[in-house]
Structure 1
Amino acid sequence: MSQLNIDFKDTLPAGHLGIIPLESSCELGKKVNEYIVSWRKDRNSKYSENILFEDYKKDTYIIDAKCSRFGSGEAKGTINESIRGKDLYLIVDVTNYNITYKLCGHINRMSPDDHYQDLKRIIAAASGKARRVNVIMPFLYESRQHKRTSRESLDCALALQELKNMGVDNIITFDAHDPRVQNATPMSGFESIQPNYQFIKALFNSVDDLIVDSEHMMIISPDEGAMTRAVYYANVLGIDMGMFYKRRDYSRVVDGRNPIVAHEFLGASVEGKDVVIIDDMISSGESMLDTAKELKKRKARRVFVASTFGLFTNGFEAFDKAYEDGIISKVLTTNCIYQPPELLEKPYYVNVDLSKYIALLIDSLNHDHSISDLLDPGEKIHKLLQNYNNR
């Protein structure tokens, strides 16, 4: 994603830019900041004498902020420099389990609830001072609890309403489990962004012998919930798609869900084709690997797994074995949530870096510039595909 495709030279920023990456997104925040610093150093504007361009070019836009924790487990959010009049962008990874804190002498790993509370603490510390507060939450908090099927809580909707009531102007997330949850706050800014271009680019860069046509390649949706994603990829690449649906045993509940009895397939033959399984997240990975095994039984050539969020809650052993057994060839996930160092060393793993894309989103929004072109990269994907086929 080239920053030079958008011209900000004749646009005033909405306010002085400030970026607050919480500890959970520290590395991602640093990369995002480096991109924006580099771009703005090379940018000249006819409004450069305007007061809104004061501090436009800086060595860093990261605001010094932290969440301190007491021995009892309670905490407070502190912002250690002025943010008055700033256009703030808070970045948080609610899935980062690698951060710990002490509770009465015991070591606790931070849960999504802990990260969400820290986000609210920083928002509260900024209240009434910042010109605008924007939250970038790549993995939407409680997005898996987005609907009610029995007497249940609606956690994601409640969280969105809470952030709105705290004064958050915009919420930016990636590949929300169900973007219709934004209906909980219809008057607030909410964007669920699909990193389609970045995934296709990463796949093309890591595999140099793909033949992208309906005779040699296919997109696979592992369940009905991922259909929209799969249809988009199939359309922009001009290839066929297939879908699995899960037959479950609704008479039993195991680990909070009805166990899967079988995976049934709908679609054309996958025999001899490279297939790409598209989904929003890899949690335990059980469903994704079951889908890959079913595809290999149907004589698929190679299986590539692409998922925005690689949680790997049950570790990597099952994926290691699947790779060794030739069931999967590549696994692609993004760096917008925590990646364990051992994952980055896997021979089958492809890291899809979204830091430049997030930096461009922030830079655009800070200028009140439309991000419509960033949300629909169809033209860029067609150019990428043409270059790949003509390599």
Structure 2
Amino acid sequence: MKRHDKLADTLPVGTLGILALESSHDMGKRVNDYIVDWRKDRAAQNATASTFAGYNRDSFLIDSACPRFGSGEAKGIINESVRGDDLYLLVDVCNYSLTYTVCGHTNHMSPDDHYQDLKRIIAAVGGKARRITVIMPFLYESRQHRRSARESLDCAMALHELTQMGVESIITFDAHDPRVQNAIPLNSFETVQPTYQFIKALLKNVPDLKVDADHLMVISPDEGAMGRAVYYANVLGIDMGMFYKRRDYSRIVDGRNPIIAHEFLGSDLQGKDVIIVDDMISSGESMIDVATQLKQRKANRIFVAAT
């Protein structure tokens, strides 16, 4: 039996509901449109699917909002019933374009603001849903995923908090460190890897790219991305190299130890195209510095891919 046929014959957990927070409004609409069309096609091909209550609907989006008071405080509101629904909550904690007003001052929403809104909506569900899944493309506080000194474990604490509020599954993309799922070993945690999308986009947009050890090399911009770079090198059958950040641990600038230099470990780069892969670009400083160092080593074209 084909996978799609098995899906059509499987009893749904509950009526599908998509709660797209304001940060993911456009993404939620695109996901909803795709599912509406897909389910109509499946129902037309498989009579069993069309018998499930709520399987075919014009929209699976559920009306919700997080209005704010003049003090900047907020509340979560769901404007329709979600009793027995299989809910999927979409939130983009890195959407800095959204603003709110506090005492006449305009504030841009931070990841903390988006995360609080997510918890408000979960609280508004009030335990009435059959299942809650959170889709968070960028995992909240994923950069603070481990303790190396006397410091907080923010990502682990956030995952604990969500599961304790009733979230059964968390889906993210290319988590900064997938081992953070050890914080919630009895719950589902999915980190979707974009390896195929990266390679597909590269081959599609650079038709003259020669994928062999003599013409192409993959570079890890720091020691944290080593595993990712090793995987790409093995899949493509090419060499890899890495930079490690030499930092000044005697002082802190803007909340972090400043980088003194990027040291390179790897074979000769002269004349080779280079792919730099990483999971995130924050300020872009590291990528620019690494690209500069690669050009000084006479690398040919430089391609940067980040989730």
Q: Smaller-chain TM-score range?
A: over 0.9
Please name the residue that 2:29 is paired with.
30
Where do 5+ consecutive residues of structure 1 fail to align?
A: 309-391
Does residue 163 of the first structure (1) align with residue 162 of the second (2)?
A: yes
Please name the residue that 1:328 is paired with.
none
Does residue 47 of the first structure (1) align with residue 48 of the second (2)?
A: yes
Where do 5+ consecutive residues of structure 2 fail to align?
A: none
What is the Cα deviation at residue 84 of structure 1?
Answer: 1.1
DSSP 3-state at the match of 2:134: strand
Q: Output the CA distance in 1 between the equivalents of 2:164 and 2:49.
A: 35
Following superposition, which runs of at least 4 residues in structure 1 exceed 2 angstroms of deviation?
4-12, 44-50
Q: Output the CA distance in 1 between the equivalents of 2:186 and 2:120.
A: 23
Please name the residue that 1:256 is paired with.
255
The change in CA–CA distance for 1:49 and 1:222 in structure 2 (over 3 A counts) is: closer
Is the Cα–Cα contact under 8 Å of residues 139 and 173 in structure 1 kept in the other structure? yes
DSSP 3-state at the match of 1:47: helix
What is the Cα deviation at residue 220 of structure 1?
Answer: 0.7
Please name the residue that 1:277 is paired with.
276
One-letter identity of the residue aligned with 2:13: A
Cα RMSD (Å) of the superposition? 1.5
Is the Cα–Cα contact under 8 Å of residues 231 and 241 in structure 1 kept in the other structure? yes
What is the Cα deviation at residue 15 of structure 1?
Answer: 1.5
Q: Output the CA distance in 2 between the equivalents of 1:198 and 1:14.
A: 30
Q: Output the CA distance in 2 between the equivalents of 1:9 and 1:161.
A: 33
Is the Cα–Cα contact under 8 Å of residues 9 and 49 in structure 2 kept in the other structure? no
Which stretch of structure 1 is more off in the superposition, 35-44 or 107-116? 35-44
Larger RCO, structure (CA 8 Å, separation 6 or more): 1
The change in CA–CA distance for 1:49 and 1:216 in structure 2 (over 3 A counts) is: closer
Q: Output the CA distance in 2 between the equivalents of 1:40 and 1:125.
A: 28
Is the Cα–Cα contact under 8 Å of residues 127 and 167 in structure 1 kept in the other structure? no
What's the TM-score, normalizing by structure 1? Answer: 0.75
One-letter identity of the residue aligned with 2:48: Y
Please name the residue that 2:92 is paired with.
93
Quote the sequence identity (%): 71
DSSP 3-state at the match of 1:108: strand
Is the Cα–Cα contact under 8 Å of residues 97 and 108 in structure 2 kept in the other structure? yes
DSSP 3-state at the match of 2:75: strand
Please name the residue that 2:148 is paired with.
149
One-letter identity of the residue aligned with 1:229: R
Residues 286-325 of structure 1 correspond to what in structure 2 (within 5 A)? 286-308=285-307
DSSP 3-state at the match of 1:305: strand
Q: Output the CA distance in 1 between the equivalents of 2:149 and 2:29.
A: 42
What is the Cα deviation at residue 159 of structure 1?
Answer: 0.7
Q: Output the CA distance in 1 between the equivalents of 2:171 and 2:237.
A: 29
Please give the per-residue CA displacement for 1:170-202, whole angstroms capped at 9, x wherever unaligned. 011111111111111111111122111112112
One-letter identity of the residue aligned with 1:153: S
Is the Cα–Cα contact under 8 Å of residues 169 and 189 in structure 2 kept in the other structure? yes
Is the Cα–Cα contact under 8 Å of residues 21 and 29 in structure 1 kept in the other structure? yes
The change in CA–CA distance for 1:210 and 1:75 in structure 2 (over 3 A counts) is: same
Please name the residue that 2:107 is paired with.
108
Q: Output the CA distance in 2 between the equivalents of 1:57 and 1:274.
A: 49
Please give the per-residue CA displacement for 1:310-354, whole angstroms capped at 9, x wherever unaligned. xxxxxxxxxxxxxxxxxxxxxxxxxxxxxxxxxxxxxxxxxxxxx
Please name the residue that 1:124 is paired with.
123
What's the TM-score, normalizing by structure 2? Answer: 0.95
Q: Output the CA distance in 2 between the equivalents of 1:185 and 1:305.
A: 33
Is the Cα–Cα contact under 8 Å of residues 8 and 49 in structure 2 kept in the other structure? no
Q: Output the CA distance in 1 between the equivalents of 2:50 and 2:54.
A: 11
DSSP 3-state at the match of 2:211: coil
What is the Cα deviation at residue 46 of structure 1?
Answer: 4.6
What is the Cα deviation at residue 9 of structure 1?
Answer: 2.5
Does residue 199 of the first structure (1) align with residue 198 of the second (2)?
A: yes
What is the aligned residue count?
Answer: 303
